[in-house]
Amino acid sequence: MRSELLEILVDPVTGAELRLEEEQRDGEEIAAGVLAGTGARYPIVDSIPRFVLTEDEGQRQTESSFGYKWTKRDSFGSKGMDEALHAWFIDRYGFETADEMRSFFAARRRILDAGCGAGFSTSAWISENWNANGSEWIGADISNAIDVARERLGEFGGTHFVQADLMRLPFKSASFDAIIAEGVLHHTPSTERALKSLVPLLAPGGELMFYVYARKAPVREFTDDYVREQLATLSPTEAWETMRPLTRLARALAELGVEVEVPEDVPPLGIKAGRYDVQRLIYWNFAKLYWNANLAFEENVHVNFDWYAPTYAWRQTEEEVRAWCADEGLEITHFDTQEAGFTVRAVTPG
Ligand SMILES: C[S@@+](CC[C@H](N)C(=O)[O-])C[C@H]1O[C@@H](n2cnc3c(N)ncnc32)[C@H](O)[C@@H]1O
């Protein structure tokens, strides 16, 4: 763990300053230590301070399904997957290119990547020399995906890793001039509380960037909950298995390559008139059956698992998201609306 990180760490419960203690094991002092505050002690394992305290069962299940997914290293990160999903990520936040996104972050002093996972999205822009100006990037995640993030991004300058719950982060207030939470806030017990818990960590004039799921058509919402409830009772390995036939169905539908004309709006099902590829019509209105031919089969399974396996995966309306930002005095500077979700950039008063 590097000293730049220690400067901003506090006890996530009491807010007290933390100091580094050497740990004694069998009378031997070992390099990995613990962080101690007023009474509480937090271990540092593999150079990562560990602060996870949650006892919420749904959050625990969500954590373990993400830990499973991100440690399954052969299920993400092919060239096809990186190109497809990174381009979507960069574009939603309003950047033209990865270079433009990198320059944006390189101009910030300290960035928090809240719920960084294995660093999949961050790897769209981070690179060896990204922090020539001395910027620091701190990745925090509740799950053991943080170990994978360290393996993947730890070689880049100015990167730090913390295992923690974003509802109770171990950082001094006003520590960051940018916070990004890409696809994370809706995986907590409350999207609203998660968003609001990040705001005090922003320095005046700091920017909050986040992506949250949008509420879908009514039958699709029903199916989402129905499948998610079944998966919540399974181990991650079993849940992954159940996603394979679902993914094969998605592929079969996509390979049809057939379009259908919906002649007029169908209000009871929330379907709008228009011409649709049959797989996309089903995807948006009846059941998320993801298939992208640029991704390997297991990567497609990964995307379907990502959707159905975590117990917490709330969907929200645009009005809700805008109201939460207004409550916190955040000025929205960018609001990207897609069927899948909302990508927002908002700043605190300077
Ligand atoms: C869909 S993944 C996104 C990961 C990363 N932001 C990306 O785009 O590659 C969601 C991540 O949120 C993390 N997460 C869920 N609840 C969290 C919480 N309360 N605190 C911190 N991380 C959380 C999960 O462990 C998971 O790695």
The enclosing domain of 320 has a CATH number of: 3.40.50.150
Q: What is the pLDDT of residue 39?
A: 76
Show the tokens assigned to 181. Answer: 């939470």
Query: 270 with 148, same domain?
Result: no
CA-nearest residue for atom 17, ligand 1, is 142
Are 42 and 49 a contacting pair, CB within 8 Å?
yes
- pLDDT tens by residue, 192-242: 999 999 999 999 999 999 999 999 999 999 999 999 999 999 999 999 999
Query: 114 with 232, same domain?
Result: no
Domain containing 271: what range? Answer: 218-308
The full DSSP string for 169-213 is: --B-TT-EEEEEEET-GGGSS-HHHHHHHHGGGEEEEEEEEEEEE
On whether residue 257 sits in a domain, the answer given is yes
Residues whose beta carbon lies within 6 Å of some atom of ligand 1: 59, 62-63, 66, 70, 115-117, 120-121, 141-143, 145, 165-167, 182-184, 187-188, 306
Amino acid at 147: D
Query: 187 with 330, same domain?
Result: yes
On whether residue 172 sits in a domain, the answer given is yes
* CA-angle at 61, arms to 55 and 62, nearest 5°: 105
CA of 169 to the centre of ligand 1 (A): 13
Amino acid at 84: A
Are 291 and 250 a contacting pair, CB within 8 Å?
yes
Closest ligand 1 atom to 119 CA: 9
Q: What is the pLDDT of residue 19?
A: 85
CA of 65 to the centre of ligand 1 (A): 10
Are 348 and 175 a contacting pair, CB within 8 Å?
no
Give 23's strand partners.
Answer: 30
Are 178 and 108 a contacting pair, CB within 8 Å?
yes
Query: 301 with 272, same domain?
Result: yes
Q: What is the pLDDT of residue 35?
A: 74
In whole angstroms, give the CA distance from residue 291 to residue 247.
7
CA of 188 to the centre of ligand 1 (A): 9
In whole angstroms, give the CA distance from residue 92 to residue 3.
34
CA-nearest residue for atom 15, ligand 1, is 187
On whether residue 232 sits in a domain, the answer given is yes
Q: What is the pLDDT of residue 172?
A: 97
Give 49's strand partners.
Answer: 44
Q: Give just the sign of the alpha carbon dihedral 180, 182, 186, 188.
A: negative
On whether residue 125 sits in a domain, the answer given is yes
On whether residue 45 sits in a domain, the answer given is no
State the total domains in the chain: 2
CA of 26 to the centre of ligand 1 (A): 36
CA of 40 to the centre of ligand 1 (A): 25
In whole angstroms, give the CA distance from residue 347 to residue 50.
29
Query: 107 with 148, same domain?
Result: yes
Which of 184, 193, 299, 314 is the pocket-test mutation for ligand 1 (most atoms within 8 Å of CB)?
184
In whole angstroms, give the CA distance from residue 184 to residue 141.
9
In whole angstroms, give the CA distance from residue 316 to residue 342.
9
In whole angstroms, give the CA distance from residue 299 to residue 244.
11
In Å, how far are 217, 322, 336 from 58, measured between CA atoms? 24, 26, 29
Query: 130 with 239, same domain?
Result: no
Query: 59 with 205, same domain?
Result: yes
CA-nearest residue for atom 10, ligand 1, is 184
- pLDDT tens by residue, 55-93: 899 999 999 999 999 999 999 999 999 999 999 999 999
Are 339 and 214 a contacting pair, CB within 8 Å?
yes
In whole angstroms, give the CA distance from residue 164 to residue 167.
9
Query: 203 with 251, same domain?
Result: no
Query: 59 with 82, same domain?
Result: yes
Q: What element of type H or E holds 32?
A: strand 28-36
CA neighbours closer than 13 Å in the CB half-sphere of residue 50? 13
Are 142 and 59 a contacting pair, CB within 8 Å?
yes
CA of 184 to the centre of ligand 1 (A): 5
Q: What is the pLDDT of residue 32?
A: 53
| Residue 262 backbone dihedrals phi, psi, to 5 degrees | -90, 110
Query: 114 with 246, same domain?
Result: no
On whether residue 6 sits in a domain, the answer given is no
On whether residue 113 sits in a domain, the answer given is yes
Query: 108 with 188, same domain?
Result: yes
Query: 193 with 237, same domain?
Result: no
Q: What is the pLDDT of residue 31?
A: 47
CA of 115 to the centre of ligand 1 (A): 4
| Residue 35 backbone dihedrals phi, psi, to 5 degrees | -105, 130
Q: What is the pLDDT along the chain (350 residues), one digit of tens a residue?
A: 788 999 999 999 999 888 888 766 665 555 456 777 777 889 999 999 999 888 899 999 999 999 999 999 999 999 999 999 999 999 999 999 999 999 999 999 999 999 999 999 999 999 999 999 999 999 999 999 999 999 999 999 999 999 999 999 999 999 999 999 999 999 999 999 999 999 999 999 999 999 999 999 999 999 999 999 999 999 999 999 999 999 999 999 999 999 999 999 999 999 999 999 999 999 999 999 999 999 999 999 999 999 999 999 999 999 999 999 999 999 999 999 999 999 999 999 88
In whole angstroms, give the CA distance from residue 260 to residue 187.
34
Show the tokens assigned to 173. Answer: 């207030």
Of 62, 248, 222, nearest in space to 145 by CA: 62
Q: What is the pLDDT of residue 282?
A: 97
On whether residue 32 sits in a domain, the answer given is no
User: How does DSSP classify residue 75?
Assistant: G
CA-nearest residue for atom 26, ligand 1, is 117
Q: What element of type H or E holds 83?
A: helix 79-92
